């Protein structure tokens, strides 16, 4: 049981670091990227439902990017529309103008602390 705390803690920390790397990529796009006009080339016909994940494809300088979008955004736009997207040359990630990463960083930090706590519990229980 004690070893399982340590292993679980290591797994949680590893996954959190993976997500933080993705958040850092998003932060680079927010801080160094620019707002460009992209054309919607593909999106679902209907985007009803709140739990489903909807994706659109947008085109910029002959490159096609896939982007997860909220239902409201999906219903408000159609194929052929020009939308403003945050983009950084050389990154595969694009962001909608209202997207941020603050909550993601906080969540990742909490999970890292949880992982460290589990490792601590495994070490303390191991000594007993």
Give 53-103 as a 3 state SS string. CEEEEEEECCEEEEEEECHHHHHHCCCCCEEEEEECCCCCCEEECCCCCHH
What interhelical angle do 102-127 and 2-32 show, nearest 10?
A: 160
The string of pLDDT tens digits covering residues 59-74 is 999 899 999 998 888 8
Residue 34: per-residue pLDDT: 94
Closest Cα to residue 30, out of 107, 83, 103, 99?
Answer: 99
Residue 90: per-residue pLDDT: 86
| Helix (H) / strand (E) containing 128 | none
Measured in residues, the chain has a length of: 128
Residue 126: per-residue pLDDT: 57
Are 67 and 58 in contact by the 8 Å Cβ rule? The answer is yes
Residue 51: per-residue pLDDT: 67
pLDDT < 50 regions, the chain: none
């Amino acid at each position: 049981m004690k070893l399982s705390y340590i292993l679980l803690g290591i797994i949680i920390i590893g996954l959190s670091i993976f997500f933080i790397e993705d958040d850092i990529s998003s932060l680079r796009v927010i801080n160094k990227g620019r707002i460009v006009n992209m054309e919607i080339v593909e999106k679902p016909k209907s985007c009803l439902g709140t739990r489903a994940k909807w994706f659109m494809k947008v085109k910029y300088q002959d490159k096609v990017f896939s982007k997860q979008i909220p239902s409201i955004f999906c219903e408000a736009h159609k194929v052929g529309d020009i939308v403003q997207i945050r983009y950084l040359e050389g990154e595969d990630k694009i962001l909608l103008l209202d997207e941020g990463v603050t909550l993601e960083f906080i969540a990742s930090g909490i999970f890292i602390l949880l992982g460290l706590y589990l490792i601590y519990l495994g070490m303390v229980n191991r000594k007993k």
